[in-house]
């Protein structure tokens, strides 16, 4: 992620990334289809996939609509939480390679804020690091 949260594709070639994401989604299909939590895998702003639970939780009509958002931090994460989400991503996915739990506010497309907790897990595929997330809503009483 850069300062806006994007990982630049230095070659500008999306094809291998799309193939990787499709392979990862196929491998994780039982989890995506049966988890009661929102699940997503993030490679970069253009290459991400989620399950229907997460798309609905974050106010999108489908996983494809969610995946079409062009800027992860700018689209999904409330401004006050962007720096911490970006810091955690870099620290755990690209440096320590350890899972972490973080809390942040998501802004749904209609502007409604929802407080979430995410377990972020490093995942390696074809020599690239991805972020594998399990997301749940935080009840207002615990927010």
pLDDT, tens digit only, all 143 positions of the chain: 333 333 334 445 566 888 888 999 999 999 999 999 999 999 999 999 999 999 999 999 999 999 999 999 999 999 999 999 999 999 999 999 999 999 999 999 999 999 999 999 999 998 899 999 999 999 887 65
| Distances in whole angstroms, Cα of residue 93 to Cα of each of 1, 32, 109 | 10, 21, 27
Q: Where exactly are the structural domains of the chain?
A: 15-137
CA dihedral 46→112→90→48, nearest 10 degrees, is: -20
- Number of Cβ within a 10 Å radius of residue 4: 12
User: What's 129's DSSP letter?
Assistant: E
Q: How many CB atoms lie within 10 A of CB 119?
A: 15
Best CA proximity match to 1, nearest among 130, 136, 124: 130
The highest-level CATH class for domain 15-137 is alpha beta
C-alpha dihedral sign at 115, 119, 122, 128:
negative
Q: Are the CB atoms for 62 and 52 separated by under 8 Å? A: yes
Helix residue spans in the chain (DSSP H) = 15-27, 29-34, 52-57, 63-67, 72-76, 82-89
Q: What per-residue confidence (pLDDT) applies to 2? A: 35
């Amino acid at each position: 992620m850069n300062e806006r949260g994007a990982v630049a594709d230095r070659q500008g070639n999306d094809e291998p990334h799309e193939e990787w994401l499709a392979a990862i989604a196929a491998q994780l299909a039982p989890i995506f289809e049966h988890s009661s939590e929102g699940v997503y895998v993030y490679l970069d702003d253009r290459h991400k996939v989620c399950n229907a639970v997460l798309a609905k939780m974050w106010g999108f009509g489908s996983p494809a609509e969610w995946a079409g958002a062009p800027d992860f931090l700018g689209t999904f994460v409330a401004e006050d939480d962007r720096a911490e989400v970006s810091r955690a991503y870099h620290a755990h996915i690209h440096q320590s390679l350890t899972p972490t739990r973080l809390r942040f506010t998501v802004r749904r497309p209609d502007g409604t804020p929802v407080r979430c907790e995410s377990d972020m897990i490093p995942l390696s595929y074809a020599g690239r690091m991805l972020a594998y997330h399990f997301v749940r809503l935080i009840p207002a009483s615990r927010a």
